[in-house]
């Protein structure tokens, strides 16, 4: 089994989900006492979030690049960036890094295309919904992403940063997310992308009317597929 390097902490809540999901998937596939070979580099999210808010993506990229190199030096053979938003910086993060990076949007787009669906609703941070770095990957796979309206985008973003990234789960926020998902379906979405690694704390197939694509789960499954190849 190849060693999976996880660059996480953005947020810590989602990185915990990555660890638990990879352990569950490995046990399900291999049985017994098997668990994944992992290196986790969990960084302090507060400075990263401040750089996001300030629009200083160059400084954020330099931080990610430093930690990606550390994972490579530590023996990682596959790299996961355990956040959707920071895939905005996937290219500069990989300068001087030769590990294969599993891009979360590419893995998700491929899964949706294989399912024969075409118009995914996207719920994510404002950065991921409003900028092209993520939706371009979806369109390249032949998909037509459907975005929430401005007010809904602002609400999704606020709940992510003020609640979910802090491990706060509020029933009212769950109901709010459910309503947004329903509006996306009413506007033509034939499925829903949980495009922030924390959104699965509030939404799942159990409370969404269209097929749900959980990017964290998809990312972990793709990583394990690669880790188990010879």
* Active site amino acids: 83, 196
What's the distance, Cα to Cα, between the start and end of the chain in Å?
8
Task: Report whether 120 contacts 143 (CB < 8 A).
Answer: yes
Q: Which two tokens stand for residue 213?
A: 């694509």
Chain-centroid distance, C-alpha 114? 19
Task: Report whether 131 contacts 195 (CB < 8 A).
Answer: no
Of the candidates 40, 47, 34, 46, the one whose C-alpha atom is nearest the C-alpha of residue 15 is 40
Task: Report whether 80 contacts 5 (CB < 8 A).
Answer: yes
Task: Report whether 223 contacts 40 (CB < 8 A).
Answer: no
Q: Which two tokens stand for residue 89?
A: 């910086």
């Amino acid at each position: 089994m190849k060693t999976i390097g996880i660059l996480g902490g953005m947020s810590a809540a989602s990185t915990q989900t990555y660890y638990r999901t990879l352990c569950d998937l490995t046990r399900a596939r291999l049985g017994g006492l098997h668990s994944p070979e992992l290196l986790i580099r969990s960084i302090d999210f507060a400075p990263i979030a401040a750089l996001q808010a300030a629009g200083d993506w160059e400084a954020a990229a330099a931080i990610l690049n430093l930690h990606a190199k550390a994972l490579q030096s530590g023996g990682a053979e596959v790299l996961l960036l355990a956040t959707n938003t920071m895939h905005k910086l996937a290219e500069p993060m990989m300068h001087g890094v030769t590990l294969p990076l599993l891009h979360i949007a590419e893995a998700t787009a491929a899964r949706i295309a294989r399912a024969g669906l075409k118009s995914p609703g996207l719920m994510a941070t404002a950065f991921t919904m409003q900028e092209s770095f993520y939706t371009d990957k979806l369109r390249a796979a032949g998909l037509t992403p459907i975005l929430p309206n401005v007010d809904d985008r602002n609400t999704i973003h606020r709940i992510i940063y003020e609640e979910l990234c802090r491990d706060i789960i509020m029933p009212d926020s769950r109901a709010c997310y459910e309503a947004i998902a329903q509006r996306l379906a009413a506007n033509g979405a034939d499925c829903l992308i949980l495009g922030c690694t924390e959104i699965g704390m509030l939404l799942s197939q159990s409370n969404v009317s269209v097929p749900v694509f959980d990017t964290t789960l998809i990312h972990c499954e793709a990583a394990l597929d690669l880790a188990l190849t010879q």
